[in-house]
Amino acid sequence: MALRVGFIGSGFNTRFHIQGWRGVRESAVTGVWSPNHVRAAEAATLAKQMDVGFAKTFRSIGEMVADPEVDAIWLCGPNHTRVENVEEIVHTIAKGRGTLKGIACEKPLARNVAEAIKIRDMVKKVGLKTGYLENQLFAPHVEAGKKLLWARGAATTGRPYLARAAEEHSGPHAPWFWQGRQQGGGVLNDMMCHSALVVRYLLTEPGQPLSTVKPKRVTGHIASLKWSRPAYAKKLKAAMGSEVDYSKAPAEDFASVMIEFETPTGELAIGEATTSWSYVGAGLRLSAELLGPEYSMKWNSLDSGLQLFFSREVKGKAGEDLVEKQNAEQGVMPVIPEEYGAYGYTNEDRHFVRVFLGKEKPLLTWDDGVDVVRMLMTAYMSAEQRKSLPFPPPKLDKFVPAVAKGTWKG
The type of residue at 115 is E
Applying CB under 6 A, which of residues 30, 57, 85, 182 lies at the interface with ligand NAD? 85
Q: How far is the CB of 298 from ligand NAD (least distance, A)?
A: 21
The beta-strand segments (E) located in 170-283 are: 214-223, 254-262, 268-276
**Residue 193 or 389 having the CB closest to ligand NAD:** 193
Residue with CB nearest ligand NAD? 11
Which among 72-80, 198-206, 238-246, 312-320 is the span making contact with ligand NAD, rule CB under 6 A?
Answer: 72-80
Q: How far is the CB of 262 from ligand NAD (least distance, A)?
A: 28
Total residues found in the chain within this entry: 410
229 binds ligand NAD (CB under 6 A): no
Applying CB under 6 A, which of residues 106, 115, 168, 349 lies at the interface with ligand NAD? 106
Picking from 192, 182, 185, 190, the residue whose alpha carbon sits closest to that of residue 84 is 182
Which among 29-37, 117-125, 293-301, 357-365 is the span making contact with ligand NAD, rule CB under 6 A?
Answer: 29-37
**Residue 159 or 169 having the CB closest to ligand NAD:** 169
112 binds ligand NAD (CB under 6 A): no
Please, which of residues 304-323 interact with ligand NAD by CB under 6 A?
A: none
With beta carbons less than 8 A apart as the criterion, state whether 185 and 252 touch.
yes
Q: Could you give the CA distance from residue 154 to residue 148 in angstroms, rounded to a whole number?
A: 9
Give the angle subtended at the CA of 163 by the CAs of 162 and 169, to the nearest 5°.
Answer: 145
11 binds ligand NAD (CB under 6 A): yes
Give the angle subtended at the CA of 278 by the CAs of 226 and 319, to the nearest 5°.
Answer: 120
Q: Could you give the CA distance from residue 266 to residue 45 in angstroms, rounded to a whole number?
A: 53
Q: How far is the CB of 207 from ligand NAD (least distance, A)?
A: 24
394 binds ligand NAD (CB under 6 A): no
Q: How many residues bind ligand NAD (CB under 6 A)?
A: 21
Picking from 238, 231, 243, 323, the residue whose alpha carbon sits closest to that of residue 282 is 323
10 binds ligand NAD (CB under 6 A): yes
Applying CB under 6 A, which of residues 20, 53, 62, 77 lies at the interface with ligand NAD? 77
275 binds ligand NAD (CB under 6 A): no
CA distances from 136 to 32, 165, 197, 213, 278 (A): 24, 10, 9, 19, 21
Q: Could you give the CA distance from residue 227 to residue 251 in angstroms, rounded to a whole number?
A: 9
With beta carbons less than 8 A apart as the criterion, state whether 67 and 53 touch.
no
Binding site for ligand NAD (CB under 6 A): 8-14, 34-36, 39, 76-79, 81, 85, 106-107, 135, 174
